[in-house]
Every structure is written in C-alpha cells, then in structure tokens.
Structure 1
Amino acid sequence: MNETTQLNLDGRRFAMVSSTASRVDPDAPTRFDYREEDGVIWGGYEGDTVLHGRFVGVRRQDEIELSYVHLTRDGDSPVAGRSTSRIEPLPDGRLRLVEEFTFDGDDTPQVSVCEELPA
C-alpha cells in the first residue's frame, strides 16, 4: 500500500481529544466524518458544543487545508474559519490529525488534536 492510499481519509471517523479553543468533553467529543476523492476532502462534524458543522478542502500528501462552518448549541450565528492539519500515523495503524486553525474575524491561532476512532 502506498502513502497516498494509507493517508486516504474516505470513510474515516475522528474524535477531538484536545483543543486550545475550548475544553473538550471526553464523554461527548466533537466527531468528524471524512470523505475524500482524488485529494478533495469534505465532510461533517457534530458533538460537544457543535450542533452541526461542514468542511471542505484538499489533501496534499500528509497535509489537509480546509474551510469550515458550524452552528453551536448555544449560539445563533454560524462560526467559520480555516485550518491546516498534519496527518500523523499512530502506532496501532489509526491516524491522528494535528490541526492549526483560526476563526474568521479572529487571527489568534488555535490547535486541536483529533484521533481516528477504531473501525
């Protein structure tokens, strides 16, 4: 299996394990469902403070560039931003995503870590 196949995110699910932007609820973390075709990435996410979210972007080798938007459970305005993630293999074969992101209107860089959920 080549590196591109190993890193393909199509059908993979991830859960947030840490974030500098907010506390992560370990019992109900935000979960991300990824789709990928020919390096194009898209999907959705929900959980913790996120009611419903969507993302779209591209993967170039082990880096992902995304734009995202979501609604929070306690807010009435969409939250949007951009991110760059590094894909890292875990010892057990799952993947970890280390994401640097910013919210639109706030240039303060944030970092989150998500790990692939077991199949």
Structure 2
Amino acid sequence: MDNEQLATKQFSYNADTIDAIVKFLQKRKEGDRTITSGEIEPFQLQLLCQHIEKMIYEKQKQVVGKTKEQIRVRKEDLGGEPGMQKVLQNFYEDEIKSLTPPPARKAARKLCEAGL
C-alpha cells in the first residue's frame, strides 16, 4: 500500500539483489585479506538503502502515469560489488558537497577532518 507522505511509492527487490547486498555487507577488509562474517554494519546498510531509495525516486519520476507496475530493484541496478563499494566510499564527499553555502562545506570538512 502506498503512503502519500512518502516520496517514493512502494517498490520491491529481486531475491538475488537482497542476497548480493547481504553478501557484500558481510565482507570487510583486514589488511590484505577479505573476511566474511555473519555481521552487517547497520550504518552501511542504511547508506545503501538511502542510495537505492534515491535511485527509485528518480525512476518513479520518469515513469509517472506511464505504468502501474511496481519497480523492482535488480542487482545490476547497484553495479555489483564495485557499485556498492562506491556508494560507501563516496558518502563523505557527497554529504560535504550537499551543504550550502560553500563556506559551510569548508567548515564541515574542517570539523570532520580535524575533530571537535
């Protein structure tokens, strides 16, 4: 059921997309090794979910009135592991760039990089 207060309408994930996200998030680097565990960092999951919701919002704007079909997230939409890694790596820069006016960007960068 759609909620008019939400920016996006209902969407779904292919099962293999969910598997790909979970497998990706269960991996972590330790030195030169990649370790797979049963744990997922909630913050990383939230970043991927925000990225997916933005992507769905843009797709829904393009098809408004053209189809009533629910959009399904495919693993190809995420660009595989490299695409998901890019979302996580770009978070900091993307957030800094979203700040306005430009002096706020400089202040935020200084705060984040130099500490409180």
| TM-score with structure 2 setting the length | 0.25
The structure with more strand, counted as a fraction of residues: 1
